Amino acid sequence: MIVLNGGSSSGKSGIARCLQTVLPYPWLALGTDTMVDAMPASLQASESGIAFGPDGGVSVGPRFRELEDAWTEGVAAMARAGARIIVDEVFLSGA
């Protein structure tokens, strides 16, 4: 597994695509944007889900954390099953 961590619009997705091109085996690129896009619209701009402030700040609520935990377990399960994964991530709290 390769983890790319950085702020929004820092080039992580582009790096992931480049890695997919040059690495010798197929790699899946998954990231926070993929998870947020898969969330119900009602959680994409709410206190219980994820909200983006005008200053670029991000706040996450308990429903987001529940889905994030499940997402992380799912990505880890794919890696354990043998998938090569590039994770395009924005760590929203401590490690």
How far apart are the C-alpha atoms of 46 and 49, rounded to whole Å? 5
The answer to whether residue 33 is catalytic is: yes
User: Out of 33, 55, 69, 88, which one is annotated catalytic?
Assistant: 33
DSSP string, 19-48: HHHHSSS--EEEEHHHHHHHS-GGGTTSSS
- Give catalytic residue positions: 33
